[in-house]
Structure 1
Amino acid sequence: MAKITLQGNPLETVGNLPNTNTKAPDFNLIAGDLSEKKLSDFSGNKLILNIFPSVDTGTCATSVREFNKKAASLENTKVLCISRDLPFAQGRFCGAEGIENVVMLSDFATGDFGKHYGLEIANGPLKSLHSRCIVVVNEEGNVTYTEQVSEVVDEPNYDAALKAL
């Protein structure tokens, strides 16, 4: 399990992120139209999984905005923004912000994504939400980069994630 903090207070995750040079675990997430999306739905694309607790917080919203800007110029790449927010909240945020270059996906139904990727917060006030992470997956479905952000309120390293593509 990863040891992280929320404003300096210690938290832990249920496990660790997938290892690099391994197959990315499959997932079943819910899109804005309530359809199910699996990893295989994005096969042949490079993926940046931008994972966070809730789009209704400042840092999470900033990461979606930043990746939305950067994703516009990326070829053969999809940015998947994943949280446990309801798809309706994700859609409301994207509509209000003019977010069009990322794919919002929700793990609200089961939380299995957070468990299988080892990033669900195990204790504290954000228990059961996702910790802030980045996972980069290549066209073959292999993990090429991961970042577990150690302080939940900090932003991820955007440049390192983009370089890993």
Structure 2
Amino acid sequence: MSTITLKGNEIHTSGELPAVGSQAPDFKLVKSDLSEASLSDYKGQKVILNIFPSIDTGTCAASVRKFNEEAAKLDNTKVLCISRDLPFAHGRFCGAEGIENVETLSDFVDGSFGKAYGLDIVDGPLKGLDSRCIVVLDENHKVKHTEQVAETVNEPNYEAAMAAL
């Protein structure tokens, strides 16, 4: 279990992020078109997992915008923006914002992604959502970098994520 905060108040996640050097757990998530995506779909590509509680908050939206900007500069790298929001919310946001360099994926069906990665929030007002985290994977999907943002309202360390590639 990890302890993070929401506006200074302690909340907890179900576990720990995968260790650097370990193989990233596979997942099944839902794309905006309601088709299924798994980590194996990105075989041979570097992957940045930008995970957050909800696309409809300012900090989460800012992270998607920032990674959309960064993704345009990357070779052989996919940026996956993941939350428990419905795929329709992802589609609405990306359409309105002109987001086209990242992929949005939803963990809404059963929260299995959050549980497998140890980042689902287990108490407090955000219980049931995924915590704000970054996980960077190499081409073989070994974990190169992780960050669980200590204060949920803060943005992740974009520079550290990009440097890990």
- Asked if these proteins are the same fold (TM beyond 0.5), I'd say yes
1:101 paired residue number: 101
SS in 1 for 2:47: strand
SS in 1 for 2:15: coil
Give how far 1:125 is off: 0.3
Q: Show CA shifts across 1:18-64 (max 9, x none).
A: 00101000000000111110000001110000000000000000000
Q: Which runs of 4+ in 1 moved over 6 A?
A: none
**Once the two structures are aligned, what percentage of the paired residues are identical?**
67
Take 1:59 and 1:34, find their aligned partners in 2: how far apart are those partners?
A: 25
2:123 equivalent to 1:119: no
Take 1:109 and 1:100, find their aligned partners in 2: how far apart are those partners?
A: 24
Question: In the alignment, residue 6 of structure 1 is paired with which amino acid?
Answer: L
1:141 paired residue number: 141
Give how far 1:141 is off: 1.1
Take 1:121 and 1:36, find their aligned partners in 2: how far apart are those partners?
A: 23
SS in 1 for 2:90: helix
- How many residues are matched? 165
1:157 paired residue number: 157
Take 1:61 and 1:32, find their aligned partners in 2: how far apart are those partners?
A: 16
Unaligned runs of 5+ in 1: none
SS in 2 for 1:68: helix
Take 1:93 and 1:33, find their aligned partners in 2: how far apart are those partners?
A: 14
For normalisation by structure 1, the TM-score amounts to: 0.99
Take 1:70 and 1:37, find their aligned partners in 2: how far apart are those partners?
A: 22
Q: Show CA shifts across 1:82-113 (max 9, x none).
A: 00000000000000000000000000001000
Aligned-residue RMSD, C-alpha: 0.4
Take 1:73 and 1:141, find their aligned partners in 2: how far apart are those partners?
A: 20
Unaligned runs of 5+ in 2: none
2:75 paired residue number: 75
